[in-house]
Amino acid sequence: MFENKLVAVINKSCEPGVAMNALAHMSFGLGQLVEKDKALLCDYIDASGLSHPAISNMPFIVLSANSNKIRAAVQTARENKIICVDFTNTMTGGTYLEQLENTKKTVEENLTYYGAVFFGPWDEVTELTKKFSLWR
């Protein structure tokens, strides 16, 4: 068993392109927050000797929920100091400067959560995400 667990939760009402965009942004951000050794990153070498670098040995589970359930999980993660990166509706459309401004002008309760990625102790992340369904 792994010490830590990596789980993404995507808003089940998101179009696939929006979901993949959110997942990419969140995963890239999470990569900056998790130490390489804790992320269990390694290079896979194929039979031709080519390297396929920085792939985690641990599973990356992708689940789905609605915005309010994602919001609640994000709040719980913050309270329990579980590493969490989320992505909301204000982070799309226009330039990144407009996205920053839109986010700044929107109170948290009015944000629509497109997703969140959680990384932390296996049992804690399991407890946080166990009621969510697999993303399809």
Tokens 């999980």 -> residue: 73
Give me the pLDDT at residue 24, please: 97
Give the pLDDT confidence score for residue 36 in this predicted structure. 83
Q: Given this model, what pLDDT does residue 40 score? A: 93
Strand order, beta sheet including 83-88: 83-88, 113-121, 4-11, 60-65, 133-134
Going along the chain from its start, the domains and CATH numbers come out as 4-134 (3.40.1490.10)
pTM, rounded to two decimals? 0.94
Q: Which pair of structure tokens corresponds to residue 54? A: 């920085």
In sequence order, what are the residues at sequence separation of 6 or more whose Cβ sits closer than 8 angstroms to the Cβ of residue 105? none
Q: What is the pLDDT of residue 37?
A: 86
Give the CA count within 13 Å in the CB-facing half-sphere of 117.
Answer: 21
Average confidence (pLDDT) per 10 residues, the chain, 136 residues: 95 97 97 91 96 94 98 98 98 97 98 98 98 95
